[in-house]
Amino acid sequence: MIKVHFFAALKQYFTDSISVEFIENETVTDFIQRLAQFYPDAAEPLTKCRVAINEEFVSFSDTIQSQTEVYVIPPSSGG
């Protein structure tokens, strides 16, 4: 399983965090698309998100490892 954390507006769809199945060799892009399929209303906001793992932003072509916690990061709106 992979634990996925959500912030800001995305919590409205997913709550703070959910657990999803681990899929071998899944890229960040594919992972985001899988989330969008679970919750189609979130598909559009998800396209604007970045992903962080281990407190670092990762690239969309990276593959997601088992046992990692994934943080889905909507566009910043601080300040």
Residue in this structure with the two tokens 């604007």, named with its chain if needed:
48
Is 55 a binding residue for another protein by CB under 8 A? The answer is: yes
- Kindly determine how many residues on this chain lie close enough to bind another protein according to the rule CB under 8 A: 19
Q: Is 78 in the site for another protein (CB under 8 A)?
A: yes
Euclidean distance between CA atoms 52 and 34, whole angstroms: 17
For residue 28, give the H/E element and its range.
helix 28-38
Residue 69 interacts with another protein (CB under 8 A)? no
12 to 41: interface string for another protein, x by CB under 8 A: x-----------------------------
In whole angstroms, how close is the CB of 10 to another protein at the nearest point? 9
Angstrom distance (rounded) from CA 63 to CA 79? 32
- Size of the chain in residues: 79
